[in-house]
A and B are shown apart, each in its own frame.
Chain A
Amino acid sequence: MGGFIRSSLRAVKIRRLAWLLLLATNTCLWAAENSSLSASTELSNEGYFVLNWNVQDEDSSLTLQQADSNQFDSIIAREVAGSGAATISGLADGRYHFRLLDGNQIVSNTVAVTVQHHSMARAGGFFLLGLSLFSLLIATILHGNRQAGI
């Protein structure tokens, strides 16, 4: 019975130690990854969207990395220190990944945004519709003026 109690107490101590270790690890992880990065949309049909993050330290030298794979092999980096948002625009079709770094340390989660532009058929349809309306408008005003003797 006594041995059972001792082994139970030992098990409790080990569990406590494990919890403490886990807590300490999490705290370190939170310290390293302390900016929550988010995107205004997951799918953009225009190639632009807004990235937002919480600024923890005004004096940090944050960099926003953009890559076309989640391995971040080939990156475009932008200095974003002091800012809490960035509007990204002009991207071609593809899936883009973003994360924040402070120096060489990753300090945010990774977010991904898919850019899929409208089809050319849709774009051409609206273009032609607009052109037709514009042409008709000019013709109507010219005809109306002639009729009214202006």
Chain B
Amino acid sequence: MQFNALSPTVALIILVIFGLLWIAFGYFLGRKNETLDDYMLAGRNVGMAFAAATAMATWVTSNTTMTAPQVTYELGVWGMVGYSLGAVGLLLFAPLAKRIKYLLPHGFTSGDFIRERYGVLAWRVFLVISLFYAFGWLISLGMAGGILVNALSGVPYHVGMTFILAVCVSYTLLGGLRAVIATDFVQTIIIITGVIIIAYLVISNVGFERMHTDLQTERPMLLDLLFPAAIMFLFNNLLFGVGEIFHSNVWWSRAFAFRADTGARAYFIAGLFWIPIPIVAGFVALAAPSLGIIVPSSDMVGPLVAGRILGTTGAIVVFIVVFSALASSLDSLLAATADLITQDIYRGHINPGASDEQCFRAGRYIIVGLGLMTWILCVPRITTLASLLYFTGAFVASAIWPIVFGLYFRWATGLAATLAMLAGTGLGLLAYFQIGYYVAAVASAAVSLIVLVVVSRLDNSKFNFESLAKGESLS
């Protein structure tokens, strides 16, 4: 029987209190925004504490708190460990952030770099990949909101999803990146505190021995270190995380927003703090068989188990933690995707002569439009969170090598980068459908690497990095 740890009334009260809190915070911080730089990049002057907090909070998403348990429930111990390898993306982005800030001191988006480094064709292919990923992530976050509220309280999926989306759109709209980073700071404190409480309650409520015995009897593969699909998943998840972070404007916009001496250290610290969170979140799922919990859809396992073993108090903690995690990612993604569309689509394609004032206004409309589009795509709840998320792995992993080689080496060419992204995405999708979601990113990254190196070597042209640092076409 589906057990609801919270009454619908309690769930709705929490949603309303925290929703109003975030919106009021966004309004308060938004009053300080005077220029496009303020709104999009928080004045390019974010310090260490806020920088590390926003990087970590953004990376602790519904995917960490809900997909990590799902992957553990499906792929066992390696699923849990593999998920924590997502931290590698943050750790490896640390040195890249420094290089990005140095090469593009006036940059706004990841699209700026691709356009200046590889030309218009590669830029357009990159935009398609980046926007596809952004929508995939936005939809997974919106869906996670609805699933969370439904699993813990029985409130219909569509009600929870709509409410959470509306709150995040509102405060991102009011406050821009400054509000996003400030709320992320508060949300990080809530997430870390909540995860520590949950870990303590799980350890004191569930015995390891009972869990181990039940898993060995009913779900032996979840403990098997030679579980084939889980072995394939390990580096796939690592590369997926790297692809997400290296290409996405969520992380590039922060690299531009952080102070020059802050970015690298902030990403490194955020990565280290992030590692244990999916382990704790995933571990909870292994208690499901011992507790006799029936899991209708594997992306519900985290909240279902937490609600059952932790009681009403624990469920409230879980609810607030996951709501904070969701909001901290949803706002960041809304802001960064709106920046990308404003700068690369609106100013780059539709209105090339747009002033900062026009972009400022367009950015607000784009945030509302993104929220609406996400809501429409969330309504049908077409698949599970992991399946949706890892589908985008084929796209983002194809951009890893064009970004890395493009940042450091002169020999990588625009044609090679374009073909690498197209071939990587194509073969990654083939692997997704022919084998499974746990190989799409590996296949995509491998093909992209080969194509990029081979095609670049056929062309002897060398890029001049000094043209990037001038930033003539970026403002």
Residues of A within 8 A of B (CB): 45-48, 50, 64, 76, 78-87, 89-92, 117-120, 122-124, 126-127, 129-131, 133-134, 136-138, 140-141, 143-145, 147-148, 150
Given the known interface contacts A87-B297, A89-B219, the answer about A140 and B234 at a Cβ–Cβ threshold of 8 Å is no
Given the known interface contacts A48-B74, A118-B229, A126-B232, the answer about A79 and B292 at a Cβ–Cβ threshold of 8 Å is yes
Given the known interface contacts A144-B409, A148-B408, the answer about A118 and B228 at a Cβ–Cβ threshold of 8 Å is yes
B404 and A144 contacting across the interface, CB-CB below 8 Å: yes
Cβ contacts under 8 Å, A120 to chain B: 226, 228
Tell which of B22-30, B92-100, B185-193 binds the partner: B92-100
Cβ contacts under 8 Å, B298 to chain A: 48, 87, 89
B75 and A46 contacting across the interface, CB-CB below 8 Å: yes
B220 within 8 A of A: yes
How many whole Å from A62's CB to the nearest CB in chain B?
Answer: 9
Contact with A along B436-459 (1 / 0, CB 8 A): 101100100110010000000000
Residues of B within 8 A of A (CB): 1-2, 73-76, 88, 92, 95-96, 98-99, 102, 215, 217-222, 224, 226-229, 231-232, 234-236, 238-239, 242, 292, 294-298, 301, 400, 404-405, 407-409, 435-436, 438-439, 442, 445-446, 449
A133 and B446 contacting across the interface, CB-CB below 8 Å: yes
Bound Cα distance from A140 to B25, whole angstroms: 42
Bound Cα distance from A71 to B32, whole angstroms: 72
Given the known interface contacts A79-B1, A90-B76, A118-B232, the answer about A50 and B297 at a Cβ–Cβ threshold of 8 Å is yes
A141 and B96 contacting across the interface, CB-CB below 8 Å: yes
Interface centre among B228, B236, B296, B439 (most CB of A within 10 A): B228
Bound Cα distance from A126 to B236, whole angstroms: 8
Bound Cα distance from A136 to B235, whole angstroms: 13
B296 and A84 contacting across the interface, CB-CB below 8 Å: yes
Name which residue of chain A comes closest to B73, CB basis.
A89
B1 and A134 contacting across the interface, CB-CB below 8 Å: no
Given the known interface contacts A133-B442, A150-B98, the answer about A90 and B292 at a Cβ–Cβ threshold of 8 Å is no
Name which residue of chain B comes closest to A136, CB basis.
B449
Instruction: A89-B74, A92-B220, A117-B229 given; name 14 further pairs at CB < 8 Å.
Output: A81-B1, A86-B295, A90-B76, A90-B220, A91-B220, A117-B221, A126-B231, A133-B445, A133-B446, A134-B88, A134-B238, A137-B400, A144-B404, A145-B95
Bound Cα distance from A143 to B76, whole angstroms: 36
Cβ contacts under 8 Å, B228 to chain A: 117-120, 122-123
A123 and B405 contacting across the interface, CB-CB below 8 Å: no
B408 and A147 contacting across the interface, CB-CB below 8 Å: yes
Cβ contacts under 8 Å, A141 to chain B: 92, 95-96, 404, 408
Given the known interface contacts A82-B1, A91-B219, A129-B442, the answer about A123 and B99 at a Cβ–Cβ threshold of 8 Å is no
How many whole Å from A25's CB to the nearest CB in chain B?
Answer: 33
B2 and A130 contacting across the interface, CB-CB below 8 Å: no
Bound Cα distance from A50 to B465, whole angstroms: 53
Given the known interface contacts A85-B297, A86-B294, the answer about A131 and B232 at a Cβ–Cβ threshold of 8 Å is no
Name which residue of chain B comes closest to A118, CB basis.
B228
Give 26 A-B contacts (CB < 8 Å), ordered by A residue.
Answer: A47-B221, A48-B298, A50-B297, A64-B294, A78-B294, A79-B1, A83-B1, A84-B296, A87-B301, A89-B221, A90-B76, A92-B220, A119-B228, A123-B229, A127-B232, A129-B446, A130-B232, A137-B92, A137-B404, A138-B92, A141-B95, A141-B404, A141-B408, A143-B408, A144-B404, A145-B99
How many whole Å from A74's CB to the nearest CB in chain B?
Answer: 11
Bound Cα distance from A143 to B298, whole angstroms: 42
B400 and A45 contacting across the interface, CB-CB below 8 Å: no
Cβ contacts under 8 Å, A127 to chain B: 231-232, 234-235
How many whole Å from A92's CB to the nearest CB in chain B?
Answer: 5
How many whole Å from B2's CB to the nearest CB in chain A?
Answer: 6
A46 and B436 contacting across the interface, CB-CB below 8 Å: yes
Cβ contacts under 8 Å, A78 to chain B: 292, 294
Bound Cα distance from A148 to B103, whole angstroms: 11
Bound Cα distance from A80 to B296, whole angstroms: 10
Bound Cα distance from A120 to B234, whole angstroms: 14
Bound Cα distance from A47 to B76, whole angstroms: 11
A134 and B220 contacting across the interface, CB-CB below 8 Å: no
Bound Cα distance from A64 to B405, whole angstroms: 54
Cβ contacts under 8 Å, B232 to chain A: 118, 122-123, 126-127, 130
Name which residue of chain A comes closest to B445, CB basis.
A133
Bound Cα distance from A143 to B408, whole angstroms: 9
Bound Cα distance from A134 to B96, whole angstroms: 16
A140 and B405 contacting across the interface, CB-CB below 8 Å: yes
A137 and B242 contacting across the interface, CB-CB below 8 Å: yes
Cβ contacts under 8 Å, A46 to chain B: 74-75, 229, 436, 438
How many whole Å from A9's CB to the nearest CB in chain B?
Answer: 56
Cβ contacts under 8 Å, B449 to chain A: 133, 136
How many whole Å from A110's CB to the nearest CB in chain B?
Answer: 19
Bound Cα distance from A86 to B449, whole angstroms: 40
Cβ contacts under 8 Å, B439 to chain A: 126
Cβ contacts under 8 Å, B236 to chain A: 126, 130
How many whole Å from A79's CB to the nearest CB in chain B?
Answer: 6
Cβ contacts under 8 Å, A81 to chain B: 1
How many whole Å from B265's CB to the nearest CB in chain A?
Answer: 13
How many whole Å from A117's CB to the nearest CB in chain B?
Answer: 5
